[in-house]
């Protein structure tokens, strides 16, 4: 059966129907999904009551999985496979996490606009989030199209941003929400990573802003100037015309492209209301600066 595609936003975001992710996809089916992923950057699939193994198999079609290494909470008993990141507020027994839980506090930074794993030298290509239990109120996720946001910048600013490189650190975004409880081993495991501030799509040549609350500094700028620039750009890029906010239903699954979008959790009463979301993450092949060098070196 052929998939059907419904656009949900003028710039990005499409719903894909007539597909069952509990089944093994044919090459043609995955190719059709891939074409839509490249074009729309965020894809929603509804009514997918999938197992974790289904999600892992689907994820591997996009590329190699970044495992959850759990560097920041050694010894924690995982609720689900470490091929997935547990984005829930539940412990390994399925009970609500206690108030002072490190995982709860660490995850709170998901409420800041970000892109996944830009703090790794080779960052994430895409993430896949599935909804298993949703709270009665709140818990939406917002996405922003960084291609459309780049296109809308004044030409002069596009030129100024073109060659800038930024440092991303997971500990920086956590510090922003007041959580700093990481030991040296955790900090050594995930050192800051340097990325382009403007990305170029290797095939289409289309540019996009590569922003995240993980950005701690920009080369050649004072930290104050860098923070001011990042805040201004994030405010620009998350204006309503670039944003789609998703209200989850159980069985929803969303794939987003971390290279060309940002996202954030809109938050909910995570002390009283259960929310069981499971994320798988696919690694990109190359650091964004190395990719830009490759593109620059191509024969004209
Ligand atoms: C994530 C994330 C947002 C949410 O899993 O990477 O940012 O709404 N999740 O849970
Ligand atoms: Mn995220």
Average pLDDT, the chain: 96
Indicate the top mutation candidate among 125, 263, 270 to test ligand 1's pocket, ranked by most ligand atoms within 8 A of CB.
Answer: 263
What pLDDT score was predicted for residue 246? 98
> How would DSSP label each residue in the chain?
---EEEE-SSSS-EEEES--TTSPPPHHHHHHHHHHHHHHSEEEE-S----HHHHHHHHHTTS-B-----TTSTTPPPSS-TTSEE-SSB-TTSPBPPTT-HHHHHHHGGGS-B-TTTTSSS-EEEEEEEEEE--SS---EEEEEHHHHHHTS-HHHHHHHTT-EEEE-HHHHHHHTT-----HHHHHHS--EEEESEEE-TTT--EEE---TTEEEETTS-HHHHHHHHHHHHHHHTSGGGEEEE---TT-EEEEETTTEEEEE----TTTS--EEEEEEEE-SS-HHHHHHHHHHS--
Which atom belonging to ligand 1 lies closest to the Cα atom of 275? 10
| 128 Cα: distance to centroid of ligand 2 (angstroms) | 10
Residue 85 has pLDDT above 80, yes or no: yes
What pLDDT score was predicted for residue 24? 95
| 42 Cα: distance to centroid of ligand 1 (angstroms) | 13
Residue 270 has pLDDT above 70, yes or no: yes
Residue nearest to atom 2 of ligand 1 (CA): 110
pTM above 0.95, yes or no: yes
Share of the chain above pLDDT 70, in %: 99
> Per-residue pLDDT averaged across 157-176, rounded?
96
pLDDT digits (tens, 9 = 90+) for 237-257: 999 999 999 999 999 999 999
Residue 74 has pLDDT above 80, yes or no: no
Rg over CA atoms, the chain: 19
| 114 Cα: distance to centroid of ligand 2 (angstroms) | 6
Residue scoring higher pLDDT (103 or 211): 211
Residue nearest to atom 3 of ligand 1 (CA): 265
Share of the chain above pLDDT 90, in %: 89
| 1 Cα: distance to centroid of ligand 2 (angstroms) | 32
Place of tokens 């709140």: 138
What pLDDT score was predicted for residue 73? 75
pLDDT band for position 75 (50/70/90)?
confident
Pocket of ligand 1 (CB under 6 A): 87, 110, 116, 127, 129, 141, 263, 265, 277, 279
| 215 Cα: distance to centroid of ligand 2 (angstroms) | 14
Neighbours of ion ligand 2 (CB under 5 A): 116
Residue nearest to atom 7 of ligand 1 (CA): 110
Residue 205 has pLDDT above 80, yes or no: yes
Residue 276 has pLDDT above 80, yes or no: yes
pLDDT digits (tens, 9 = 90+) for 18-33: 999 999 999 999 999 9
Residue nearest to atom 10 of ligand 1 (CA): 265
> Per-residue pLDDT averaged across 264-278, rounded?
97
Indicate the top mutation candidate among 127, 129, 252 to test ligand 1's pocket, ranked by most ligand atoms within 8 A of CB.
Answer: 129
Give me the phi and psi of 232, to 5 degrees please: -65, -45
Which atom belonging to ligand 1 lies closest to the Cα atom of 265? 8
What pLDDT score was predicted for residue 71? 67
Residue nearest to atom 4 of ligand 1 (CA): 265
């Amino acid at each position: 059966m052929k998939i059907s595609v419904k656009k949900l936003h003028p710039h990005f975001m499409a719903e894909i129907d007539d597909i069952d992710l509990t089944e093994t996809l044919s090459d043609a089916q995955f190719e059709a999904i891939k074409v839509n992923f490249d074009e729309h950057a965020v894809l929603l699939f509804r009514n997918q009551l999938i197992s974790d193994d289904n999600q892992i198999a689907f994820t591997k079609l996009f590329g190699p999985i970044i495992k959850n290494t759990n560097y920041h909470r050694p010894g924690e008993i995982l609720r689900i496979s470490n091929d997935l990141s547990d984005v829930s507020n539940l412990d390994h027994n399925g009970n609500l996490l206690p108030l002072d839980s490190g995982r709860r506090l660490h995850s709170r930074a998901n409420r800041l606009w970000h892109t996944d794993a830009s703090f790794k030298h080779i960052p994430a290509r895409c993430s896949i989030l599935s909804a298993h239990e949703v709270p009665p109120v709140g818990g939406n996720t917002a996405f922003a199209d960084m291609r459309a946001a780049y296109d809308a910048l004044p030409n002069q600013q596009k030129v100024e941003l073109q060659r800038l490189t930024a440092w991303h650190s997971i500990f920086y975004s956590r510090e922003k929400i007041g959580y700093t409880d990481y030991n040296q081993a955790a900090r050594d495991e995930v050192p800051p990573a340097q990325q382009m501030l403007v990305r170029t799509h290797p095939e289409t040549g289309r540019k996009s802003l590569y922003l995240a609350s993980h950005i701690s500094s920009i080369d050649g700028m004072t930290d104050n100037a860098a923070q001011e620039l990042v805040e201004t750009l994030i405010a620009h890029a998350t204006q309503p015309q670039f944003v789609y906010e998703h209200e989850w239903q159980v069985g929803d699954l969303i794939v987003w492209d971390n290279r060309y979008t940002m996202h954030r959790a809109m938050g909910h009463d995570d002390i009283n209301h259960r929310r069981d979301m499971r994320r798988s993450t696919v690694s990109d092949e190359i650091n964004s600066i190395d990719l830009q060098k490759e593109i620059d070196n191509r024969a004209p």
